Amino acid sequence: MSSRRSYSLRARVAAATALGATVIVAALGIFVALAISRNNMSQLDRRLETASSVLIANVTAAASFLPNLGDAGAFAVTIRAGSDVIISTPTRLPPLEPGAATVVVDGTAYRANTSPVPGTDSLVSLAVPASEARDITVDQQQWVAVSGVLAVAAAAGLGWIFGGLAIRPIAALTQYIGNSTPEPGPLPKVSGVREAEELAEALELMLARIAEAQAQSAASLETARDFAAASAHELRTPLTAMRTDIEVLTTLRPDGAQRAEILADLERTQGRVEATLSALERLASGELSSERDHVPTDLVELCDLAAQDAVRQLPGVAVLVESDPSLVIKGLPAGLRLALDNAIVNAVRHGGASTVVLAARRTGPGTVTVTVDDDGTGVPVPEREAVFERFARGSGAARGGSGLGLALVAQQAQLHGGRARFEDSGLGGARLVLEFAAPQD
């Protein structure tokens, strides 16, 4: 693919200035050239008119020596009466009407002035070669052309000089962007050039976005590393147990009862691995979310949906909702629903609850609180903070859990500008309190 030749902005400014000057100088030059031509011809006509007045005043004396002047084309005088020539210089002019006119005699152009002789029907025609005015005009027009060329050259030079001064801020910004050091430093200050100021603002915004993206990428990478390390540590034990069970099945050939027990243990361990991987995936999704993913979400509606699904999936458990008719915040719908589901399942599976009550209320100008009360065994006070850590399990937790359910709940509270904590419940079990930031419009 052929590449087009590029030019510097300074050269373009100089060229544009020269082009503009050329157009203006050309228009003025044509106007001045025409004005010079008309002016010189007008001056010549006035001189001829003055000379004709003098000649007419002395026509009798002039008539005696005109035929002998031998003007050799320097001037011509012809006196006529009607169509008859009374007297003339060797260069004879043709019949002309009174006034100024240009005539050609023997191949030479003359500028003539014809005037009547008072008291007679005679006409006096006086002429000089038109080249007298034309030569002066050409000389003056040449000077105009030279002046125009010099003006265009001067305009191009000034455009180059002032263009360089005008684009200096842009050149400084370009040099800054081309700096390959990891931390190039602050943007150079520009003022007085609107385009350069707008470019600097755009660059600052772009660099801020790049820095934000780099920070997010670094945080995501760090999160991924933490997930990988934690996953490897947490999954190593169940995978080792599964491998041991498989080796027992293949090498020791256990009887029917032992085989059934080993297969049941394998099934439980497989479920634990699957639950751990699923929870890790959800944690990763939460860590990678951004402010752009937050949308207006009705917490009461989410509580109703979570309660309905829990009743279907957990037979024998009563899940109630006590809240205002509607409570909208800006958040992650999927994340908030995940937190509610995990809170209910944790109360039933690990707390042994048979009744769960969800309540969502605005508790301050910029805070919304969701509480999950249950009638289960509760959470011991010393464990109420530790259970929110990843892979942490309470002393009363049932077997087979991943240790990530409450970590997911705490993560969603943090992503929504709040926190999660446990308190004593009026139902006799535990109360999970989720606080969310919800500024009022």
The per-residue pLDDT for range 220-259, each reduced to its tens digit, is 677 666 656 655 655 665 677 778 878 877 887 777 788 8
d(CA 130, CA 132): 5
Q: Identify the domain boundary among 97, 131, 161.
A: 161
More confident residue, 388 or 301: 301
Q: Among 15-24, 140-149, 225-234, where is mean pLDDT lowest?
A: 225-234
**Are 229 and 321 part of one and the same domain?**
no
Is the sign of the CA dihedral 353, 355, 360, 363 positive or negative?
Answer: negative
Question: What is the DSSP code (8-state) at residue 292?
Answer: G
What three-state secondary structure class fits 321?
A: strand
CATH at residue 220: 1.10.287
What lies within 8 Å, CB to CB, of 88 at 6+ separation is: 66, 67, 76, 77, 78, 79
Query: What local confidence, expressed as pLDDT, does residue 55 receive?
Result: 76
Q: Is residue 328 part of a domain?
A: yes
d(CA 95, CA 105): 12
Q: Is 2 a residue whose pLDDT tops 60?
A: no
CATH at residue 365: 3.30.565.10
Contact in structure between 297 and 331 (CB atoms under 8 Å): yes
**Are 26 and 147 part of one and the same domain?**
yes
Q: Is 82 a residue whose pLDDT tops 50?
A: yes
Beta strands in 27-97 (DSSP E): 76-81, 84-88
**Are 122 and 187 part of one and the same domain?**
no
Q: Which two tokens stand for residue 43?
A: 């001056």
CA contacts within 13 A on the Cβ side of 398: 16
**Are 281 and 326 part of one and the same domain?**
no
d(CA 18, CA 26): 12
What three-state secondary structure class fits 307?
A: helix
Q: Among 195-199, 329-333, 420-424, where is mean pLDDT lowest?
A: 195-199
Q: Is residue 210 part of a domain?
A: yes
Confidence of residue 345 (pLDDT cuts 50, 70, 90): confident
* Rounded average pLDDT over 92-101: 86
Query: What local confidence, expressed as pLDDT, does residue 284 receive?
Result: 59
Query: What local confidence, expressed as pLDDT, does residue 150 receive?
Result: 86
**Are 98 and 142 part of one and the same domain?**
yes
* Rounded average pLDDT over 22-30: 83
* Rounded average pLDDT over 352-379: 89
Query: What local confidence, expressed as pLDDT, does residue 1 receive?
Result: 46
**Are 69 and 212 part of one and the same domain?**
no
Q: Identify the domain boundary among 288, 308, 341.
A: 288
Maximum Cα interatomic distance, the chain, rounded to a whole number of Å: 163
* Rounded average pLDDT over 104-133: 82
Query: What local confidence, expressed as pLDDT, does residue 318 receive?
Result: 92
d(CA 66, CA 166): 72
Confidence of residue 357 (pLDDT cuts 50, 70, 90): very high
Q: Is 46 a residue whose pLDDT tops 80?
A: yes
Q: Is residue 166 part of a domain?
A: no
Confidence of residue 372 (pLDDT cuts 50, 70, 90): very high
> What does residue 98 show for φ and ψ, rounded to 5 degrees?
-55, 140
pLDDT tens profile 50-72: 888 877 777 666 666 666 655 55
Q: Is 365 a residue whose pLDDT tops 60?
A: yes
Confidence of residue 311 (pLDDT cuts 50, 70, 90): confident
> Which residue bears the tokens 């944690």?
283
Q: What is the mean pLDDT of the chain?
A: 77
Confidence of residue 355 (pLDDT cuts 50, 70, 90): very high
**Exposed, middle or buried, 172 (CB in 10 Å: 0-12/13-18/19+)?**
middle
Q: Among 217-226, 317-326, 332-341, 406-415, where is mean pLDDT lowest?
A: 217-226
* Rounded average pLDDT over 307-329: 86
> What does residue 210 show for φ and ψ, rounded to 5 degrees?
-65, -45
Domain range enclosing 257: 179-288
Domains of the chain: total: 3
More confident residue, 85 or 428: 428
Q: Identify the domain boundary among 265, 288, 311.
A: 288
**Chain mean position to CA 427:** 58
> What does residue 68 show for φ and ψ, rounded to 5 degrees?
-105, 10
Q: Is 435 a residue whose pLDDT tops 80?
A: yes
Percent of the chain with pLDDT over 90: 4
Q: Is residue 1 part of a domain?
A: no
pLDDT tens profile 148-193: 888 888 877 877 787 776 667 666 667 666 664 445 555 556 555 6
More confident residue, 281 or 365: 365
* Rounded average pLDDT over 106-126: 84
pTM here is: 0.43
Write the DSSP string, 190-238: --S-HHHHHHHHHHHHHHHHHHHHHHHHHHHHHHHHHHHHHHHHHHHHH
Q: Is residue 261 part of a domain?
A: yes
d(CA 200, CA 194): 10
**Are 26 and 66 part of one and the same domain?**
yes
Q: How many CB atoms lie within 10 A of CB 76?
A: 24
What three-state secondary structure class fits 266?
A: helix
Q: Is residue 27 part of a domain?
A: yes
**Are 265 and 343 part of one and the same domain?**
no
**Are 271 and 299 part of one and the same domain?**
no
Q: Which of 100, 158, 144 is nearest to 126 (CA)?
A: 100
Query: What local confidence, expressed as pLDDT, does residue 182 receive?
Result: 46
CATH at residue 150: 3.30.450
Q: Is 7 a residue whose pLDDT tops 50?
A: yes
**Are 48 and 155 part of one and the same domain?**
yes
d(CA 170, CA 194): 11
d(CA 398, CA 376): 13
> Which residue bears the tokens 């699923």?
278
Query: What local confidence, expressed as pLDDT, does residue 440 receive?
Result: 64
Query: What local confidence, expressed as pLDDT, does residue 192 receive?
Result: 57
**Are 211 and 145 part of one and the same domain?**
no
Q: Is residue 171 part of a domain?
A: no
Q: Is residue 338 part of a domain?
A: yes
What lies within 8 Å, CB to CB, of 355 at 6+ separation is: 317, 318, 319, 320, 374, 375, 427
**Are 202 and 311 part of one and the same domain?**
no
